[in-house]
Amino acid sequence: MKDVLISEAKKALKNAYAPYSYFKVGAAVLMKSGKIYTGTNVENASYGATVCAERVAIFKAISEGESEILEIAVVTETEEPSPPCGICRQVIAEFSDDAFVFLANTKGDIIETSLSKLLPMAFTKKDLKNK
């Protein structure tokens, strides 16, 4: 599934709206249902209103009734593959115990990792439950 996710993320990257940072990102997320959702970063002149590709893909999935992430691919045009930002890592953690994460660039470099390696000791909904 890794190759399919990376391919879908590369396609999404083409639609990135990054006129300020020029840092284009595409993402594809595989949900427990087997469906794949894609996203791209969308920047805004007020900067704080910018949304990352990973969150766009995840929010699309959740808005369609999905609830569990199995894998996610993130593709950038950078020299080395880039990981998700901290906010995106936290959002991934909300919908996955330990998703597989594929980081790639458009040159074909790929890093395989996991959410637990990117966000050790994550604060999750489990921490909010009464014991």
Is 79 marked active-site? no
Pairing status of strand 25-31 against strand 69-76: antiparallel
Measured distance CA(30)–CA(45) in Å, rounded: 31
Q: Are 10 and 106 in contact (CB under 8 A)?
A: yes
Q: Which entry of 43, 54, 64, 94 is annotated as an active-site residue?
A: 54
Taking the C-alpha atoms of residue 58 and residue 77, their distance in angstroms, rounded to an integer, is 21
Q: Nearest to residue 29, comparing CAs of 3, 5, 53?
A: 5
Distance (Å, whole) CA 109 – CA 50: 26
Contact 24, 16 (CB under 8 A): yes
Catalytic site residues?
54
